[in-house]
Homo-oligomer: A and B are copies of this chain.
Amino acid sequence: MKNLLENITPTLLMGPGPSCVHPSTYHAMSKSTLGHLDPYFIEIMDGIKSGLRTAMGTENNVTVPLSGTGSAGMEAAFVNLVEKGDKVLVIVNGVFGKRMVDLSQRLGAETDELEFEWGTPVLADVVKSQLEKKDYDIVAIVHAETSTGVKNPADKVGKLIAGKALYIVDCVTSLGGMEVSLDKWGADVGYSGTQKCLSCPPGLSPITFSERAMAKIAARKTKVPNWYLDMSLLTSYWGGEKRVYHHTAPVNMMYGLYQSLHLLLEEGLENSHDRHMAAHKQLAAGLGDLGLELFVEKSARLPMLNAVTVPEGVDEAALRSRLLRDFQIEIGAGLGPLAGKIVRIGLMGHTARPENVERLLAALKCCL
């Protein structure tokens, strides 16, 4: 029987995630599996919780990695907090904001969508007007819109809400690559994914819930319509004196996350943010030299996700294929209405290094 795994070509991952993984994280994932209730594994779990709190800028007790990818984090945020009839405001300027709207509607919430042009940032003043017009139970925003490369003012919006509603912040793409200070921003729920700036393979979703958020869950009139992601059950596995079995945790993925957090905190959060910004500046300058333009205005650009306008006459699908085939470099396509109009270059985690930017720029020069 042919074994395809024997011929995997190591690839420079410069798309919207997964990002490149540090060798020690791969090594961590291949360590011997322990039982999910083994006391030593529980120590590792506690280490992960502690590392996540530091990375996410929170002191929330309920700060855990969910057994699913970043999208499971979004699902868990909504399915736990939202009950039928709740008034939810979703701030949208890309695919991931839209997805929140879909989720909120599936749960029967009265869902308002405040949309901004894709590729431009959310304007805090417009949010302010909306919050003055209507009271909401829950407000949700995407900090770093992976579909457009736009940075949204999650901090300012948090100040506007100021505890009058529960505040959900999607920090899937930003965590580890730029400041994420959930407590300071007044966020009640924040979630991320492992495969972006944490530089661990995909498979887990770090999430945190404030005491206010947990109180809303405890006061629900109906059970969470999702057993797997029910935080009131999950917390008895992840916390408390005696750990109670809920579902079998993805043990080896947890090793990977532990190691990637270890690397991040050894480097230091600010150093990591600076490294991402430096790689972004290097890339932006190099793209400029090649005559390529970034899709987003300078002040709203994400360092770790660079949307590049596809020049007229260039077949972006062919470009991406050639980069992958001839140069072993992956970059990402545009999503939704931006398909064909932009390509997305990720500089996330272990990918965000000068030699990788140089390698991509040299390859682009050959292709264009």
Which of A5-13, A85-93, A278-286 binds B? A5-13
Residue pair A106, B252 in contact (C-beta under 8 Å): no
Q: Which of A265-289 contact B (CB under 8 A)?
A: 265-266
8 extra A-B contacts, CB within 8 A, seeds A5-B259, A9-B32, A11-B33: A15-B35, A21-B33, A26-B252, A39-B324, A68-B68, A69-B248, A201-B251, A252-B256
Partner of A34, one of B8, B30, B43: B8
Contact present for A44 and B4 (CB under 8 Å):
yes
Complex partner residue of A17 from B13, B17, B105, B248, CB under 8 angstroms: B248
A31 at interface, CB cutoff 8 A: yes
In the complex, the answer to whether A228 meets B72 with C-beta atoms within 8 Å is: yes
Q: What is the bound-complex CA distance between A38 and B9, given in angstroms?
A: 11
**Complex contact B70–A247 (CB within 8 A):** yes
What are 12 pairs between A and B in contact, CB < 8 Å? A1-B266, A5-B44, A5-B259, A18-B33, A21-B32, A67-B203, A69-B247, A70-B248, A71-B228, A105-B223, A106-B227, A193-B248
Question: Is A1 touching B262 in the complex (CB atoms < 8 A)?
Answer: yes
Shortest A238–chain B CB gap in Å is 14
Q: A202-220 interface mask toward B, CB cutoff 8 Å, 1 = contact, 0 = none? A: 1100000000000000000
Copies in the complex: 2
A29 touching B29, Cβ below 8 Å: yes
Nearest chain B CB to A102 CB, angstrom units: 6
**Cβ B33 vs Cβ A13 within 8 A:** yes
Task: Tell me if B203 and A3 are in contact (CB < 8 A).
Answer: no
Distance between Cα atoms of A255 and B71 in the complex (Å): 21
Interface centre among A35, A38, A70, A256 (most CB of B within 10 A): A35
Closest to A47 in B: B4
Chain B nearest CB, measured from A295 CB (Å) = 19
Q: Determine whether the beta carbon of A5 is less than 8 Å from that of B253.
A: no
Question: B residues within 8 A CB of A34?
Answer: 8, 11, 330
Contact with B along A225-250 (1 / 0, CB 8 A): 11110000000000000000111111
